[in-house]
Chains A and B, each alone.
Chain A
Amino acid sequence: MAITIGILAYQGGISEHEYLVKKACSELGIECRTRWVTKKEHLEGIDAIILPGGESTTIAKLASRFGVLEELRDRIAKGLPAFGTCAGAILMAKEVVDRKTKKVLENPLGVMDISIVRNYYGRQRQSFEIHLEIPAIGPKPFRAIFIRAPAITRVGEGVETLARLDGVVVVARQGRMLATTFHPELTEDTRIHRFFIERVAKLV
């Protein structure tokens, strides 16, 4: 049976996720479609949602303008699987604050019991890549690309930490929600996408 994966498509690394979703599905032998989500009606009939990287302020503003934010909050709370990378993780977090300006992001989805600090490592010059140990997806280290990345500084009860880097959480899971603070969509490594999609396929 084919699954449909929605990608919140206002801004950011949308086609990069689409590419990796398709690659992961073909490796898993799962038939899948992707759908760009920008309006409420696009949420009908999707089996999972991916929240891509971009500027969280821009995405939150547009998603709230079209009423997608509220609708998505409901659906995720009711069990729609969600996978957020970087800005996507920021949208999912319960509390979000900027490291330097201490500005609080007003209308994130707030569905995942984690606290996030935006621009945790600093500005673009402090962006980096590194091989990361993520036991849940296998022993081979994952090449993680952190771009103006946030950090998960607190995980609530029921949130499982899947990877850490220098003491802060970089991959976390709570129920059907998965968040990474780096960008797996900038690599050819489909393991994190497969990890997510495998579980989505089991639900369908």
Chain B
Amino acid sequence: MFKLWRTHLIDVGFETIADFFYKLAEVADRLREDGEELLFSYGPERLPERIEVPKRGTVRVKLGFPVFQKGGVCMDVTNAEQAGIAEDAGAVSVMVLDKLPYDVRKAGGVARMASVKKIQEVMEVTTIPVMAKVRIGHYMEAVVLQEIGVDMIDESEVLTPADEERHINKWLFEVPFVNGARNLGEALRRIYEGAAMIRTKGEAGTGNVAEAVKHMRSIAKDVLAVSRMPPEDRMKVARELGVPVQLVDLVARLKRLPVVNFAAGGIATPADAALMMWLGADGVFVGSGIFKSQDPMNRAEAIVLATSMWYDPETVLEAQSMISEEKSMMGIDIRKLKPEELLQVRGV
């Protein structure tokens, strides 16, 4: 079984993508030499011809990290014990939260980054990467997480946005970022701001995969459309999306997003995870789906299996048999949510 859409990643290679961002920054550097310091600051720092001392936080290092998460599952956890279950089940990373998205939704109020102590506790006991969330636009929460030493920062719509109009300039950090997106425009704007990885937003904490499907399909449809457009139309698209036309051209060449793209928001069963992989995801984030179910241990293992081997019906069946539907989280019908209860509309 193949993905619903074929991409050209394998004909282009990682280096072309990493190099692309340096080329973009080079143009900005030329312009900056004339004095205006504050303009054109989106982009990586230029590297020497030969790197003699270890150089951290470079584009290759930041875009490379999510490459090794591909085909895997990142699980939301709220304590060290859950992190242990996730690691034993075969998760490729864990996302530390104070409350699972489902509980964030129920609790209301302002949702902020998790407690430092909690994040450190999880980091103490796990050997796999640890991620944590910051509020959209909250530069300082991100600084704090970088200091703690988390492996990746999720600038997430699940938390209450701190800046309602801007996102963090992620080029300023050594630690890579993942951002949510509902469509090609959101994804490319986040990549231009320096995100090293994209995930669909879906509708977190609902146990309903419908929104994630909608977002993944929307991105795929637009990627396919730009890959068939003449340059004049790509220019028009770039203008409408508010990103450089070169970035749109790169997407057209690759026939996919230039960074690793996971699915998130509402994944609750192994079949959900396999569905998202078929639709073009490189891996999945599972939030409330595991630890809000009645069978977290089996379910975690089953979702790992179905994500890795989504193209093999026999294995997906085996994974799906490891869980029982009565133990799945209840789930919420998204049409019953009030417009102000939707998380996905935060940060466009």
Contact = CB atoms under 8 A, between A and B. Distances in A.
Contact of B13 (A9, A19, A57, A147): A19
A58 B54 contact: no
Interface residues of B, number: 53
A129 B54 contact: yes
B72 A186 contact: no
Interface string B100-143: 00000000000000000000000111111110000000000000
Interface stretch (A43-51, A76-84, A115-123): A115-123
Given A131-B52, A186-B60, A148 B129 contact: yes
Contacts, number: 156
A123 B146 CA distance: 11
A32 interface: no
Interface in A36-83: 38, 53-55, 57-58, 61-62, 65
Interface in A168-186: 183, 185-186
Nearest to B72: A11
Contacts of B70: 11-14, 54
B10 A103 contact: no
B127 A11 contact: no
A186 B14 contact: yes
A62 B13 contact: no
A58 B300 CA distance: 12
A87 B15 CA distance: 20
B149 A125 contact: yes
B278 interface: no
Contacts of B14: 16, 19, 185-187
A7 to B, nearest CB: 12
A57 B127 contact: yes
Contact of B65 (A18, A122, A147): A147
A132 to B, nearest CB: 9
B304 A62 contact: yes
A54 B90 CA distance: 12
Interface in B22-61: 50-58, 60-61
B68 A87 contact: yes
Contact of B68 (A19, A22, A53): A53
Nearest to B126: A101
A15 B283 CA distance: 14
Interface in A1-36: 9-16, 18-20, 22-23
Contacts of B345: none
B207 interface: no
Contacts of B124: 100-101
A57 B51 contact: no
A98 interface: yes
Contacts of B146: 125
Given A123-B123, A124-B150, 6 more contacts: A12-B72, A13-B68, A19-B9, A129-B51, A145-B64, A186-B14
22 contacts: A10-B308, A11-B72, A12-B71, A18-B10, A19-B12, A38-B309, A38-B312, A54-B69, A54-B92, A55-B93, A58-B128, A65-B305, A103-B127, A118-B127, A124-B176, A125-B151, A128-B54, A129-B58, A130-B52, A131-B52, A147-B65, A185-B14
